[in-house]
Amino acid sequence: MATQAAFLARLPQLALLQQPGGGDRATAPVRVRVPGAVVSQGTKAVAVAAKATARRGVRCQASLIEPDGGRLVDLVAPEEGGRRAALRREAAALPHRVRLGRVDKEWVHVLSEGWASPLRGFMREAEFLQALHFNAIRGEDGRMVNMSVPIVLALGDAQRRAIQADGATRVALVDERDRPIAILSDCTGIARTVVALYWDISITVYVGRYQSIRCINTLFPSFSSIEIYKHNKEERIARTWGTTAPGLPYADEAITNAGDWLIGGDLEVIEPIKYNDGLDQYRLSPAQLREEFARRNADAVFAFQLRNPVHNGHALLMTDTRRRLLEMGYKNPVLLLHPLGGFTKADDVPLSWRMKQHEKVLEAGVLNPESTVVAIFPSPMHYAGPTEVQWHAKARINAGANFYIVGRDPAGMGHPAEKRDLYDADHGKKVLSMAPGLERLNILPFKVAAYDTKQKKMDFFDPSRKDDFLFISGTKMRTLAKNRESPPDGFMCPGGWKVLVEYYDSLVPSEGSSKLREPVAA
Amino acid sequence: MATQAAFLARLPQLALLQQPGGGDRATAPVRVRVPGAVVSQGTKAVAVAAKATARRGVRCQASLIEPDGGRLVDLVAPEEGGRRAALRREAAALPHRVRLGRVDKEWVHVLSEGWASPLRGFMREAEFLQALHFNAIRGEDGRMVNMSVPIVLALGDAQRRAIQADGATRVALVDERDRPIAILSDCTGIARTVVALYWDISITVYVGRYQSIRCINTLFPSFSSIEIYKHNKEERIARTWGTTAPGLPYADEAITNAGDWLIGGDLEVIEPIKYNDGLDQYRLSPAQLREEFARRNADAVFAFQLRNPVHNGHALLMTDTRRRLLEMGYKNPVLLLHPLGGFTKADDVPLSWRMKQHEKVLEAGVLNPESTVVAIFPSPMHYAGPTEVQWHAKARINAGANFYIVGRDPAGMGHPAEKRDLYDADHGKKVLSMAPGLERLNILPFKVAAYDTKQKKMDFFDPSRKDDFLFISGTKMRTLAKNRESPPDGFMCPGGWKVLVEYYDSLVPSEGSSKLREPVAA
């Protein structure tokens, strides 16, 4: 924790959460209570209004970008009033319990904090189909919100039959040791009723006796009950990744061997999801991030998603973005440096090492802690390129970001079966720029940064003297670090590089082989 | 032509087009000239305003549903003014000529008449990506129009390099005998400029020096020039069909062996596309259909897409829909019975036989010719289920239909590699009901009709006495006809059934095999 402490000391927003003995309490989502806070657009004051109590969620009235659906979803049971204990008791007694895998639990985390607002639980079929076909879902107000990856929970056939035979309306979700995490249920809010009515009207007016009742049941059974529907894995994979080639990391981890059914419904999560890996204090919820941006009087928030170590090219880009935003007239643009913390493929650098590396970058003054918030994005990684980059951007809207930096081949990887990149390197930014539901987000595509051998530093690539530039890919960087070779001066701060080398040193070659052991994904 | 003549005699709208010696002239798109026609909403009078001359297109001011983008696209060069001859000469002299396959030519037909309005040519990359990812395209007014299948033209690598090396801006499209069909070019209208400006503003304001120029070139090169981009077949197939299994009929016909590049650009089509197969008079353009609906004073148009023979279950449904629309208060709902006329898989009944069968159905009085318009929809068939049904519906909006009947498993087929249906039978109507850009269209899902063995007729399935009903699938129907067996009385009018039996009789078993020769798809 020594290095973490140093890191935190540099980040005012985290110091708050690092109080000794804070444990669960310190890292629990901050319940923002500023009743009646008035937002002054003129002074760019930022405030977050009181949590609405009638419905679980946080209403944000601020100069920060509004969350999708207008209200930040919060599915964690309140500490007060004994609700958590009651849920825990109920979950222990429920006859149907679905065991969550690692990725499932990460999705419960994501959903619980409202990263996927306005989703209030695992997708029902109408939401699943919209995500697959349109990368967007029609919200309760009739507008499209972006939602490009399915957030679903798989179920085996035996369990499906048991739940359906019982007509169960509440199902416990438990972890690998059978500890209850959440209850999945039919919806209790009034919002769903409104939606059901909306569809009712729009269909029955024209349909007449053509199943005016059955329509609701057939098309939108989702809005009033838990729902179990077929998990067509091939179709899900094809439409999400644009390939069905075996070897997609997320599919291998969470789809191929999963159940043939999906269960959708609203979630009530018993308590905030924790990992107890020494990194929980970095896992700020969207509400916490919004509070932090408000505290800093941010009038623009620009998000940088990453799952790799930060080199000076990244840093240049982030620094330059801030400078440009200042030139545009913003007074205090704040960077959200937001490494992905969920499932990653085996050859990516694990989260804990990446966090150490990011810390060194901040220590070295490469990024300014005053205008930088470092936090962990709890989503698992799909490596689904243009489809996934929309999710990465959409989730950051919910955390308050109104600018999103997008680079070459975001969320891309090599084709699992062919010797080529899976996606066209430009498709990510193109798709992102055109995506329904992301119109409010300002997309910042950026120029490629490369190592300028003349200036001996990372700089934006200048095609007029292209021979002066050296491109150091992620693979090249990892190979150098594995072999304890040094990159050119100015590629990465020495402290950050040292962390990378240490990480690869920590990997013990497997017996009888000179090949590096595959690291456990963080 | 005898049977066709009888058919036409029953259909007033077609009699007009069947004048002897009409040939090309009789079947050319009707240029609607009703300058300044005023629409009276009160009397539900229907009129089509004069064709806008500044830009090729037909502006429809009518109580009929407005075409996507507000204006029906018309890409056929006008007869007057020598434009066709000039284009023909130019095409003959152009150095670059792309030869159209059968499906390509069908798409030129589709595009030329505005079925895909507001598309004005083969998709450029921005349109292609939006179709693949969102099943919808942002129109020039910023609104989403539905567009679920890519309409693209493939190109080989050698031709790609030659066109790019020349910097060609105009390319001739020719048929299998090298006769010029159309010219593909950069855009000539002012609309694109407006779009380019729109994007320019929306990007450069925020992007600053981050490639404010390159953005336009990178993200939206499409709006000013022809564009050649990669044809990632695997991704296209996966995202369109939700599978990459070999054996998809459209992929086998038009993708797998096509070029590795796609060329997009605006089209100017030299003259109306004709097939000279005795069926051209049924190929009414959207403008012609709108004119016909106006002539009949239709105040509602309900479209029925089909690629199979019509049985009495279909007829019941169409008749019942009209009755219901009358009950809703419409005075004159008109049915558009709209068989698909483009590429179909080998074991479907060919178009010419289906048209004969439909004629018998009308002759037998099963459908009322007074309130029925029969025409051919020129699109090729994808068999892409929930993705394709959106295209089928969207195209009918452009032809003036504001109601769309959707059945079980629309545009579906068996999985090419597994023993199951490729799509969930309910997904088509669900996806259609939620699709972006189709909000204006009234979707009419319908109950399953089956043969009621008690009443000895086709009727809506009644689950309370399910044992009385007999389901006769398309496969079962074809097998009966192949074997010259009769279906139960009341399943199909005898004249229609006879056509089917004749069709199967016409198929000569191939040498040395008792298997039926595969019919040539019509």
Q: Does position B510 have pLDDT exceeding 70, yes or no?
A: no
Coil/strand/helix, residue A400: coil
- Whether omega before A436 lies within 30 degrees of 0, making that bond cis, reads no
Q: List pLDDT tens digits, range A415-464.
A: 999 999 999 999 999 999 999 999 999 999 887 889 999 999 999 999 99
Question: Do residues A399 and A46 make contact, with C-beta atoms less than 8 angstroms apart?
Answer: no
Nearest residue on chain A to B302, alpha-carbon basis = A206
CB contact under 8 A, A242 and B234: yes
Q: List pLDDT tens digits, range B422-440.
A: 999 999 999 999 999 999 9
pLDDT-derived band of residue B472, with 50, 70 and 90 as boundaries? confident
Look at residues B133, B135, B157, B159 and name the one whose alpha carbon lies nearest to residue B145.
Answer: B135
| pLDDT computed for residue B509 by the predictor | 64
Q: How many CB atoms lie within 10 A of CB B361?
A: 24
Percent of chain A with pLDDT over 90: 71
Residue at token pair 């969930």: B424
Buried b (16+ CB within 10 A) or exposed e, B437-447: bbeebbbbbbb
Q: Cα separation of B126 and A445, whole Å?
A: 16
Nearest residue on chain B to A430, alpha-carbon basis = B219
| pLDDT computed for residue B302 by the predictor | 98
Coil/strand/helix, residue A457: strand
Phi, psi (rounded to 5 degrees) for A206:
-95, -25
Q: Which residue has the higher pLDDT, B194 or B74?
A: B74
Residue type, A425: A
Question: How is residue B270 written in tokens?
Answer: 């030299």
Q: Cα separation of B124 and B456, whole Å?
A: 54
Q: Does position B449 have pLDDT exceeding 80, yes or no?
A: yes
Q: Does position B482 have pLDDT exceeding 90, yes or no?
A: no
Nearest residue on chain B to A137, alpha-carbon basis = B434
- Run of H or E residues at A144: strand A144-146
Q: Which of residues 386-415 of A touch B (CB under 8 A)?
A: 386-387, 403
pLDDT-derived band of residue A35, with 50, 70 and 90 as boundaries? very low
Q: Cα separation of A74 and A57, whole Å?
A: 5
Q: List pLDDT tens digits, range B32-82.
A: 222 222 222 222 222 222 333 334 455 443 579 999 999 999 999 999 999
Buried b (16+ CB within 10 A) or exposed e, A83-93: ebeebbeebee
pLDDT, mean of residues A318-322: 94
CB contact under 8 A, B444 and A215: no
Q: How many CB atoms lie within 10 A of CB A434?
A: 23
Q: Cα separation of A139 and A142, whole Å?
A: 5
pLDDT-derived band of residue A341, with 50, 70 and 90 as boundaries? very high
| pLDDT computed for residue B477 by the predictor | 87
Q: H-type helices in A284-437, by residue range?
A: 286-295, 312-327, 351-363, 385-398, 427-434
Q: CA angle, B476 as apex, B471 and B482 as ends, to 5°?
A: 150
- Whether omega before B416 lies within 30 degrees of 0, making that bond cis, reads no
| pLDDT computed for residue A39 by the predictor | 26
Q: For chain A, where do the domains classified as CATH 3.40.50.620 start and end?
A: 280-507
pLDDT-derived band of residue B478, with 50, 70 and 90 as boundaries? confident
* Of the listed ranges B8-17, B147-156, B268-277, the one predicted with least confidence: B8-17
| pLDDT computed for residue B191 by the predictor | 42
* Chain B environment of A130 (Cβ under 8 Å): 434
Q: List pLDDT tens digits, range A66-110.
A: 999 999 999 999 999 999 999 999 999 999 999 999 999 999 999
Q: In the Cβ-directed half-sphere of A516, how many Cα atoms lie within 13 Å? A: 15
**B319 near A CB under 8 A:** no
As a residue count, chain B comes to 522
Q: Cα separation of B364 and B441, whole Å?
A: 31
| pLDDT computed for residue A58 by the predictor | 53
Q: List pLDDT tens digits, range A389-406.
A: 999 999 999 999 999 999
pLDDT-derived band of residue A508, with 50, 70 and 90 as boundaries? low
CATH dotted code for A280-507: 3.40.50.620
Which residues face A301 on adjacent strands? A334
* Chain B environment of A141 (Cβ under 8 Å): none
Number of inter-chain CB pairs under 8 A, A vs B: 147
**A319 near B CB under 8 A:** no
pLDDT, mean of residues A50-56: 35
Q: Cα separation of A340 and A337, whole Å?
A: 10
CB contact under 8 A, B135 and A130: no
Task: Choose from B235, B248, B431, B441 for mutation: most chain A CBs within 10 A.
Answer: B235
Q: Cα separation of B266 and B496, whole Å?
A: 42
Question: How is residue B328 written in tokens?
Answer: 């809703």
Cα torsion for A473, A474, A476, A482, to the nearest 10°?
160
Strand segments, DSSP code E, in A175-234 are 180-185, 227-230
Question: How is residue A370 written in tokens?
Answer: 């005053």
Q: Which residue has the higher pLDDT, A288 or A5?
A: A288
CB contact under 8 A, B218 and A430: yes
Q: Which residue has the higher pLDDT, A363 or B522?
A: A363
CATH architecture, domain defined by B83-187+223-269: Roll (3.10)
CB contact under 8 A, A133 and B215: no
Q: Does position A256 have pLDDT exceeding 50, yes or no?
A: yes
Instruction: For residue A351, give every residue at least 6 positions away whose Cβ sits within 8 Å of its Cβ, in sequence order, or none.
Output: A279, A339, A341, A344, A376, A522
The rounded mean pLDDT for chain B is 82
* Chain A environment of B447 (Cβ under 8 Å): 210-211
Q: List pLDDT tens digits, range B87-103.
A: 999 999 999 999 999 99
| pLDDT computed for residue B224 by the predictor | 56
Q: How many helices (H) and strands (E) does chain B have?
A: 18, 20
Question: How is residue A416 written in tokens?
Answer: 């699992």
* CA distance, residue A433 to nearest chain B CA (Å): 8
**A436 near B CB under 8 A:** yes
Q: Which residue has the higher pLDDT, A477 or A203?
A: A477
pLDDT-derived band of residue B197, with 50, 70 and 90 as boundaries? very low
The DSSP 8-state label assigned to residue B509 in this structure reads P
Question: How is residue A481 written in tokens?
Answer: 């670090």
CB contact under 8 A, B430 and A136: no
Look at residues B430, B426, B389, B394 and name the one whose alpha carbon lies nearest to residue B409.
Answer: B426
Question: How is residue B410 written in tokens?
Answer: 């629309």
pLDDT-derived band of residue A142, with 50, 70 and 90 as boundaries? confident
Interface predicted TM-score of the whole assembly (ipTM), two decimals? 0.84
Residue at token pair 């292609």: B128
Phi, psi (rounded to 5 degrees) for A330:
-70, 145
Question: Do residues B241 and B248 make contact, with C-beta atoms less than 8 angstroms apart?
Answer: yes
Burial of A96 (0-12, 13-18, 19+ CB in 10 A): middle
* Of the listed ranges A197-201, A287-291, B255-259, the one predicted with least confidence: A197-201
Range from A5-14, A267-276, B135-144, B181-190 that averages highest in pLDDT: A267-276
Strand segments, DSSP code E, in B211-260 are 227-230
Look at residues A321, A329, A335 and name the one whose alpha carbon lies nearest to residue A401.
Answer: A335
Question: Do residues A313 and A296 make contact, with C-beta atoms less than 8 angstroms apart?
Answer: no
| pLDDT computed for residue B115 by the predictor | 98
pLDDT, mean of residues B330-348: 96
- Run of H or E residues at B87: helix B83-93
Terminal Cα-to-Cα distance of chain A (whole angstroms): 17
The DSSP 8-state label assigned to residue A68 in this structure reads G
Q: Does position A56 have pLDDT exceeding 70, yes or no?
A: no
- The closest CB to that of A327, out of B208, B235, B446, belongs to B208
Q: Cα separation of A110 and A20, whole Å?
A: 26
Q: Which residue has the higher pLDDT, B490 or B40?
A: B490
| pLDDT computed for residue B277 by the predictor | 97
CB contact under 8 A, A239 and B239: yes
pLDDT-derived band of residue B475, with 50, 70 and 90 as boundaries? confident
pTM greater than 0.90 (yes/no): no
Q: List pLDDT tens digits, range A107-135.
A: 999 999 999 999 999 999 999 999 999 99
Cα torsion for A475, A478, A482, A484, to the nearest 10°?
120
Q: Does position A247 have pLDDT exceeding 70, yes or no?
A: yes
Q: Cα separation of A451 and A454, whole Å?
A: 9
Q: In the Cβ-directed half-sphere of B380, how many Cα atoms lie within 13 Å? A: 25
Question: How is residue B385 written in tokens?
Answer: 């289920």
Q: Cα separation of B121 and B107, whole Å?
A: 9
Question: Do residues B430 and B370 make contact, with C-beta atoms less than 8 angstroms apart?
Answer: no
pLDDT, mean of residues B105-122: 98
Torsional class of A252: left (φ above 0), alpha (ψ -120 to 50), beta (otherwise):
alpha
- The closest CB to that of A135, out of B134, B209, B244, belongs to B134
Question: Do residues B245 and B417 make contact, with C-beta atoms less than 8 angstroms apart?
Answer: yes
Crossing angle of the two packed helices B351-363 and B494-506, in degrees rounded to 10: 160
Q: Does position B194 have pLDDT exceeding 80, yes or no?
A: no
| pLDDT computed for residue A223 by the predictor | 46
* CA distance, residue B45 to nearest chain A CA (Å): 22
pLDDT-derived band of residue B341, with 50, 70 and 90 as boundaries? very high
Q: Which residue has the higher pLDDT, A267 or B461?
A: A267
Question: Do residues B182 and B174 make contact, with C-beta atoms less than 8 angstroms apart?
Answer: no
Q: For chain B, where do the domains classified as CATH 3.10.400.10 start and end?
A: 83-187+223-269
| pLDDT computed for residue B479 by the predictor | 86
pLDDT-derived band of residue B6, with 50, 70 and 90 as boundaries? very low
Question: Do residues A347 and A518 make contact, with C-beta atoms less than 8 angstroms apart?
Answer: yes
Q: CA angle, A78 as apex, A72 and A81 as ends, to 5°?
A: 150
pLDDT, mean of residues A380-392: 98
* CA distance, residue B138 to nearest chain A CA (Å): 8
Q: Which of residues 445-504 of B touch A (CB under 8 A)?
A: 445-447
| pLDDT computed for residue B9 by the predictor | 39
**B230 near A CB under 8 A:** yes
Q: Cα separation of A264 and A259, whole Å?
A: 13
Nearest residue on chain B to A202, alpha-carbon basis = B442
Instruction: For residue B424, give every residue at least 6 positions away whose Cβ sits within 8 Å of its Cβ, in sequence order, or none.
Output: A230, A232
CB contact under 8 A, B206 and A403: yes
The DSSP 8-state label assigned to residue A296 in this structure reads T
